[in-house]
Chains A and B, each alone.
Chain A
Amino acid sequence: EIVLTQSPGTLALPPGERATLSCRASQSISSSYLAWYQQKPGQAPRLLIYGASTRATGIPDRFSGSGSGTDFTLTISRLEAEDFAVYFCQQYGSSPMYSFGQGTKLEIK
């Protein structure tokens, strides 16, 4: 079973700063199968990044993804008020077919 561990658990930054969120897999995964989602309170998750680095439709270019093997990163270049939310990474593999990290809460400092 592949376990995704996200860090930090909570990240407090002011608007305009750069945010770097980490997702580490317990074993190597294909970058093709690593995605990131954003979830705001009371809302469903929204797909941000897939294939580790490809932005989903309509996602601003201040969001970028990178990484390979076991270490993946979501970067938000200049935080805007609407970016403060919880972020989850997700992988596709086997047993379970899909799994998520526990999430990183990005809050306003």
Chain B
Amino acid sequence: EVQLVESGGGLVQPGGSLRLSCAASGFTFSSYEMHWVRQAPGKGLEWLSYISSFGTTIFYADSVKGRFTSSRDNAKNSLYLQMNSLRAEDTAVYYCARGHLWPVRVFDYWGQGTLVTVSP
């Protein structure tokens, strides 16, 4: 069974940093592209980042480019999101999601999410 479990969320002050983790199991992690998607309270979904299966190619949404860094450790079956210079508008539930195998460009499995709150 595919499982994605996020951790690392919490309360952080504006300008602060946080590192999210996503532990994957039930599939060959190194064969899949991975993503981060967030959802502000009561709002819609916002894609944040794509990372290729070996971590060699990474893309970001403009809203987080230069502040957030995605990485992965295939030996540990883990995905990470380093978030710096956090702002109030970064308050959201952060999901890691698995990218469906090429050429299908969708998120076929999602974690349960971890809440990040940016507040003084």
Contacts and interface: CB of A to CB of B under 8 A. Distances in A.
Interface residues of B, number: 22
Given A47-B108, A97-B50, A32 B45 contact: no
B100 A50 contact: yes
Contacts, number: 56
B44 interface: yes
A89 to B, nearest CB: 10
Nearest to A35: B106
A78 to B, nearest CB: 25
Contacts of B95: 44-45
30 contacts: A32-B105, A33-B105, A35-B106, A37-B107, A43-B112, A44-B110, A44-B111, A45-B45, A45-B95, A45-B107, A45-B110, A47-B100, A47-B109, A50-B100, A50-B104, A51-B104, A88-B44, A90-B45, A92-B105, A96-B47, A96-B61, A97-B61, A98-B35, A98-B47, A98-B50, A98-B105, A100-B44, A100-B45, A100-B47, A103-B45
Given A32-B105, A43-B112, A90-B45, 8 more contacts: A44-B112, A56-B108, A88-B45, A96-B61, A97-B47, A97-B50, A97-B59, A100-B44
